[in-house]
A and B are shown apart, each in its own frame.
Chain A
Amino acid sequence: MLAFWQDANLAWVLTGTLLLGISAAVVGGFAVLRQRALIGDVLAHAALPGIMVAFILFESKAPGLVLISALISSLLAYYLISWITRVSKIKNDAAMAIVLSLFFSIGMMALSYIQTLETPNKSGLDRLLFGQAAAITQHDVIWLSWVAIISLCFIAVVFHKLRLMSFDPQYAQTLGLNLKAYELSFALVLVLTIVIGLQIVGVVLMAAALLIPITIARFWSQSLKSLLVIAAMMSVISASISTQISLMIPHMPTGPWIVLILGLLFGLSWLIAPRIQGLRHV
């Protein structure tokens, strides 16, 4: 087993987790600043029914198909949350929990239906639930790189506008900016990152990859640009360590270790950062 890892595969696994970690940290950073830290949790769960239904319809797990179908169902969830809160008195937190559990139930229903089918190559769909970094191939990494590049470029280009919208959306509207277009494109990038992340850390732990890095970074800096850089660094550290761990211990999942290490980094930063910075008032 160990020998198998030390081959080229390890390089792919490491590249994959690193790329994902960086883009999740940066994109998730904005989600947290917009006070929607748990939106990633909802959208990750909501991607499943899309993937499952696409498999039932096309009997394929091609990365492109998975990406598009997951994208559609997550975006649907994104807008369903705001529809529910707009047309009824149901509050935002309940709407999120409703959409999360409803979409997940639909996904699981479809998955259990798939398992009764006689279709070949249906195995591996449940891998999305907990992620399996070890199974990353060169093919996956190419997809991952594209998504990471697209999301990072997007954030870099519209950085100022995103910051403005996160800080004061109403004011952004009074400037005549097209808020809906920015909203949609940010949602797209967020969902893209999540869908790719499902393969590595899985549905449940995706939220952690999005929100913990920026939370750690807030101990270390007050400027948004350096916050995002520090968040990406935290992801890199945890991704490299956890890949090493799953290399050393067979059958050890990578995703949970990423989260565990991020959590430790959070605790460590909380203890150390104020002492180093001295000035910071907690």
Chain B
Amino acid sequence: MNALTTHNLSAGYQANKVLQNISLALPQSQATAIIGPNGAGKSTLLKGLMNLLPQVSGEVSFFGEPLKKQYHNIAYVPQREEVDWDFPICVLDVVLMGRHGQLKFWQRPSKHDHQLALQSLDKVGMQAFAQRQISQLSGGQQQRVFIARALAQQAKLYLMDEPFAGVDIATEKAIVALFKQLKSNQQTLVCVHHDLNTLKDYFDWVIMINGGLVAYGPIQEVLTLDNLNKTYDGRLPILQNLGLVNSEGSN
């Protein structure tokens, strides 16, 4: 069964849609990158999947079911800039938030929840920071806390909005190691990604968008010069020099 299928997913008002008619199907246990130029709608696609936008049309299903029935299987990692990092809360409490999807409104996190939260922190190398105030974290540490929060959800599918944006090398390495671990545990990853240099190393599949869907599939098959030109409106001549794509194009 596919981890994620969309049919004619569009977002934005009719006059100017940010995303147009995206239809795709992603198998399970793959790491997929969403790439595209600035303003192509990469973050919008993730938010559209999670129904976080006011104007979304089309169908989305996770593991064959609508979002409503699958919240517990999906973990979303927003961009760091979207929250107030001066909020009075410590790291462990932020990670514990990942457990609240399973808790009723009167329930408190149990011992088991605490253990899961600490394990998740450990996986991103942040266990020593559990009692730290979030205002004292560096950018990379903030990112790792957000990923730990998603891990605490014990989900099957992880949607991450630019996890590598503006992080230090230690964090990047920690996240890459985590990706490998998640994949070996048969979990599915979908990330908005900016850095074409690392694309092949970190991911197996790619979704190329520029307003509409340009191509998607395994990287070896779809990462062609032709598709890249369509995605980036022909503004990436440097790719040939980097040897990322051979100049003949396909395959």
- Residues on A facing B (Cβ under 8 Å): 33, 35, 86, 157-158, 160-161, 163-164, 166-168, 170-177, 182, 218, 221-224, 227
Contacts of A175 in B (CB 8 A): 71, 97-98, 100-101, 153
Residue of A160, A171, A173, A227 near B108 (CB, 8 A) is A160
| Interface contact B133-A164, CB-CB below 8 Å | no
Contacts of A33 in B (CB 8 A): 87-88
Contacts of B68 in A (CB 8 A): 176
Interface centre among B74, B96, B101 (most CB of A within 10 A): B101
Residue of A157, A158, A177, A221 near B88 (CB, 8 A) is A221
Contacts of B97 in A (CB 8 A): 164, 167-168, 171-172, 175
* Residues of B66-103 whose CB lies within 8 A of A: 68, 71-72, 74-76, 78, 82-84, 87-90, 93-94, 96-98, 100-101, 103
| Interface contact B50-A174, CB-CB below 8 Å | yes
A35–B83 CA distance with the chains assembled, in angstroms: 11
Knowing A167-B83, A168-B78, the reply to whether A173 touches B133 (Cβ < 8 A) is no
| Interface contact B106-A170, CB-CB below 8 Å | no
List 13 A–B pairs whose Cβ atoms lie within 8 Å, in order of A's numbering.
A161-B105, A163-B93, A167-B87, A168-B78, A170-B47, A172-B97, A173-B51, A174-B75, A175-B153, A176-B72, A221-B88, A222-B88, A224-B89
- The residue in chain A whose Cβ has the minimal distance to the Cβ of B106 is A157
Residue of A167, A182, A218, A223 near B94 (CB, 8 A) is A167
Contacts of B108 in A (CB 8 A): 160
| Interface contact B89-A174, CB-CB below 8 Å | no
- The residue in chain B whose Cβ has the minimal distance to the Cβ of A174 is B76
| Interface contact A174-B74, CB-CB below 8 Å | yes
Chain B interface size, under 10 / 10 to 19 / 20 to 34 / 35 or more: 35 or more
- What 6 A-B pairs have minimum CB-CB distances, sorted nearest first? A176-B71, A175-B101, A174-B76, A168-B83, A222-B133, A164-B97
- A contact face: mostly helix, strand, loop, or mixed: helix
| Interface contact A168-B82, CB-CB below 8 Å | yes
B136 to chain A, nearest CB (A): 9
| Interface contact A160-B100, CB-CB below 8 Å | yes
Indicate whether B249 reaches chain A with its CB closer than 8 angstroms. no
Knowing A167-B97, A176-B68, the reply to whether A227 touches B88 (Cβ < 8 A) is yes
Contacts of A224 in B (CB 8 A): 88-89
- The residue in chain B whose Cβ has the minimal distance to the Cβ of A33 is B87
- The residue in chain B whose Cβ has the minimal distance to the Cβ of A163 is B89
Indicate whether B109 reaches chain A with its CB closer than 8 angstroms. yes
B69 to chain A, nearest CB (A): 9
A161–B93 CA distance with the chains assembled, in angstroms: 12
Contacts of A158 in B (CB 8 A): 105-106
Contacts of B47 in A (CB 8 A): 170
| Interface contact A157-B105, CB-CB below 8 Å | yes
A62–B213 CA distance with the chains assembled, in angstroms: 62
Indicate whether B128 reaches chain A with its CB closer than 8 angstroms. no
